Chains A and B, each alone.
Chain A
Amino acid sequence: MTTLTRRDWLAAGALTLGTSLLPSRGRAQAEAATLRFIPQADLRSIDPIWTTAYVTRNFGYLVFDTLFALDAQFKPQPQMVDTWTVSNDKLVYKFTLRAGLKWHDGLPVRTADCIASIERWAKRDQFGQKMMEAVETIAADNDNAFTIRLKAPFPLLLNGLGKLSSNVPFMMPERLAKTDPFQQIPEAIGSGPFKFVKAEWEPGHKAVFARNIDYVPRTEPPSLAAGGKLAMVDRVEWLYIPDPATAAAALKAGEVDWWELPPADLLPVFKDDPNVKVAITDPLGNMGVLRFNHLLPPFDRLKMREAVLNLVDQKDYMRAVAGDPKYWRTCVALFICGGTPFETRAGAEALLRGPNLDKAKALIAASGYKGERIVLMSATDQPIVQAQALVTAAALTKAGLNIDLQAMDWGTLVTRRASKKPIAEGGWNLFHTWTAAPDMLSPALNIPLRANGENAWFGWPSDPKLEALIDAWFKASDYAAQKRLAEQIQVEAYRGDVPYVPTGQFVIPTAYRSNLHGIIVAPVAFLWNVEKT
């Protein structure tokens, strides 16, 4: 028997240590095939129908697929659907699915899965609910084809099925789609270009996706959410880094490849770094919102809401929110500026003219305001919300309003805004938020615009005329009619109700390592087509 000497043990130890220190060839190849991405928020839920969180929507685009998807011109294009027909009376839509579609568990995609998915989505999404009002039946013709019969023409049917932002009508297997829409699905089995690796999911830290080798992409080039979805990396890792300074350092050091939404104040860090690119991949960006509580005085009076309209200077808001002018623009269009289908300036004279303190004071006096306390809620853990609130507090105080700026966290704000109680019992008058542009592109999507009283979004505006115009817009048969009605809606919103005030449109650039190529210009960070060299 050979006895190992102390020198042998030392040599063996040094060899083991050295091996663990040196990167292996396999590890280097894995680095190149892995895309490390810092998402905008932590992935907390894997059900994009249960929650409207944008991070879960983005997760959905990796894992699930859609029947239709919007292209760069915001027109619905087939995605999982191969062919479709519409009857002459516009009441019968027949769809055939693409051949060879498979779920991540290996089972084929069937029409029963898609029907259940549409039904679940429509129970949670307001566009979906509107669509289902027009639907008579959705029935499977066979495992590969299905028919939607309508009670009345609904020209936006394909737009609904291709809805871009939350809630997106993602397709799921029937067994998951049958889950109550107010409960989470237990697993994320989709048919999208990446598979979710649930075993490696560490909420608050990491989510992992593996390339779906069974995915059959469309042959068209990618265009927004439409076209071919080519997974160019074997593995995607979402690494949630809560501290922005650390995230910036990690990107500079090459520990991550792409940071979805770096804050504006850290962008100069990358200015002279040849390894990092800063780009605007979401040119439409987001819209700031000032919301009134229409149930409580003083903003239950139109004159007071008009007074605020005459105090708002969007430039002040945008300087506070986004800083550098190349990242923001003033925008009075309720359906977003930047060449969008329903962009208009109609009715927005007050905002276009800019602040008019004398007129605002006159409107305040005419409204009968007696100096009662106005509660403006602000979430200090949401920099964009907080910045807007500070600007509003200053502008309204200048006009003589008694502003009580109440600081809280976002979790408290979203709870309190559901309260209809008077101020003395914890009620509120004003709060700010912001919305991604795709969620405001049309009257079908712009939720804060709705003025259907008790059923409206928090603040509960009530304006039957505005609601009638929105109903008419849904039924409009062509784009010209939709465009005309969208203008009328905006005029009524600005002059007849003022459900909210847009505070400006801003973009948040994205930052990525220079060895990434093929990033799609879109309001959502799609991770297909992205190559790492």
Chain B
Amino acid sequence: MFSYIVRRILATIPVMAVVAIFVFALLHLSPGDPAAIIAGDTATPADIARIRAHLGLDQPIYIQFGDWVWRLMHGDLGISIFTDLPVTQLIAQRVEPTVALTISTLVVSVAVAIPLGIIAAWKAGTWIDRAVMVFAVLGFSVPVFVLAYLLIYAFAIAADWLPVQGYVGPSRGLWPFVSHLILPSIALGMIYAALIARITRASMLDVLAQDYIRTAQAKGLGSLRVLLGHALKNASVPIVTIIGIGVALLISGVVVTETVFAIPGLGRLTVDAILRRDYPIIQGIILIFSGVYVLINLLVDLSYTLLDPRIRY
């Protein structure tokens, strides 16, 4: 097991290197010049040229890449072209809201979806099953921003129960922290809840058709014990896989949610940086995201050994 973990971690190095080269090349080959954006609407071409020179953007691309890699090897993600602040500082400012939103969304999604999926499988073919599937279809179909606006209108404007926007850290009180996450988590979690509910239902249906479940029922075990004690554990490998993939998808999915709810997270930082061609920020975030993806995949793979003793690495 230990050697497997070490091998997987070492395997991330070439992955990250490929990501770094690809992202750098893609950014520098795409149109758009941060110097022109900085200089503003009334700048002359000479002004733009001087700003480019100061930013080092007039250097050949291989020199810019070499500089970036050298700094990266020293743990330095560079300086934001626009704000003149270290990229690590900007990312550090944004990690907490994104992590909080991701975790709260996962909690909401899993808490809603797994019971729904189990109930749908248990009551397969009944109106309850159909109602859960309607919920799942709705979850897939309604865009995040539409649901977000509806939630804002209903719970923040009309009822005045929850805040419209923003993020408040846990250090400023439990309720302010939680209240700012409820609507974004529901809006973002809907699609994942739908996905997890469908997978849970399908997986549970497979397991519930197995002989050992019939045996358990024949022995007189209660439905709850059969469902949770015998069926769910054996159905959990695909569910955990989809939750793991969901975490990775959530990181990219937070962009819209963070924009609509004005949450200062990594998603918004990425979009803002792309729009103004702030290369060091884009490069830094994508590199970190790719590292997180690799780590999540590793954790999901390791969790299989806990859920299914037959799996060994």
Interface residues of A, Cβ cutoff 8 Å to B: 17, 20-21, 42, 44-45, 50-53, 124, 126, 166, 180, 182-184, 186, 202-206, 239-243, 245-247, 249-250, 252-253, 255, 381, 408-412, 414-418, 433, 435, 439, 447, 455-458
Interface residues of B, Cβ cutoff 8 Å to A: 31-34, 36-48, 50-51, 53-54, 80, 82-85, 90, 93-94, 149, 152-153, 156-157, 160, 163-166, 173-176, 259-262, 264, 268-269, 272, 275-277
B264 touches A20 (CB 8 A): no
B262 touches A239 (CB 8 A): yes
- Complex contacts, B42 vs chain A, CB 8 Å: 52, 126, 166, 435, 439, 447, 457
A17, A52, A408: the one within 8 Å of B174 (CB): A17
Known contacts A20-B174, A184-B84; A246/B164 CB under 8 A: yes
B90 touches A246 (CB 8 A): no
Cα(A42)–Cα(B272), bound, Å = 9
- Complex contacts, B153 vs chain A, CB 8 Å: 249
A435 touches B32 (CB 8 A): no
- Complex contacts, A42 vs chain B, CB 8 Å: 272
Cα(A202)–Cα(B92), bound, Å = 10
Known contacts A249-B156, A253-B164; A411/B80 CB under 8 A: no
B149 touches A245 (CB 8 A): yes
B36 touches A418 (CB 8 A): yes
Q: Nearest chain B CB to A261's CB is how many angstroms away? A: 16
A183, A241, A409, A455: the one within 8 Å of B262 (CB): A241
Cα(A457)–Cα(B175), bound, Å = 54
Contact sample, A vs B, 16 pairs, CB 8 Å cutoff: A20-B174, A44-B82, A45-B38, A45-B84, A51-B40, A203-B82, A206-B264, A241-B165, A246-B165, A246-B262, A250-B164, A253-B164, A411-B32, A411-B33, A416-B31, A417-B36
A455 touches B84 (CB 8 A): no
- Complex contacts, A255 vs chain B, CB 8 Å: 163-166
Cα(A488)–Cα(B222), bound, Å = 96
Cα(A189)–Cα(B165), bound, Å = 31
- Complex contacts, A246 vs chain B, CB 8 Å: 152, 164-165, 260-262
Known contacts A21-B173, A243-B259, A435-B41; A249/B82 CB under 8 A: no
- Complex contacts, B272 vs chain A, CB 8 Å: 42, 204, 242
Cα(A52)–Cα(B39), bound, Å = 6
B264 touches A204 (CB 8 A): yes
Q: Nearest chain A CB to B284's CB is how many angstroms away? A: 14
Cα(A270)–Cα(B125), bound, Å = 49
Cα(A245)–Cα(B272), bound, Å = 18
Q: Nearest chain A CB to B41's CB is how many angstroms away? A: 6
Give the interface centre of A51, A203, A239, A433 by most chain B CB atoms within 10 Å. Answer: A203
- Complex contacts, A240 vs chain B, CB 8 Å: 262
Known contacts A242-B262, A249-B164; A203/B38 CB under 8 A: no
Q: Nearest chain B CB to A196's CB is how many angstroms away? A: 13
B32 touches A51 (CB 8 A): no
- Complex contacts, A45 vs chain B, CB 8 Å: 38, 82-84
- Complex contacts, B32 vs chain A, CB 8 Å: 409, 411-412, 415
A202 touches B38 (CB 8 A): no
Cα(A239)–Cα(B262), bound, Å = 9
- Complex contacts, B261 vs chain A, CB 8 Å: 246
A253 touches B160 (CB 8 A): yes
Q: Nearest chain A CB to B169's CB is how many angstroms away? A: 12
A414 touches B163 (CB 8 A): no
Q: Nearest chain B CB to A457's CB is how many angstroms away? A: 7
- Complex contacts, B40 vs chain A, CB 8 Å: 51-53, 166
A51, A186, A249, A456: the one within 8 Å of B38 (CB): A51
A239 touches B36 (CB 8 A): no
Q: Nearest chain A CB to B273's CB is how many angstroms away? A: 9
Considering the complex, give the chain A residue whose CB is closest to the CB of B264.
A205
Cα(A342)–Cα(B31), bound, Å = 40
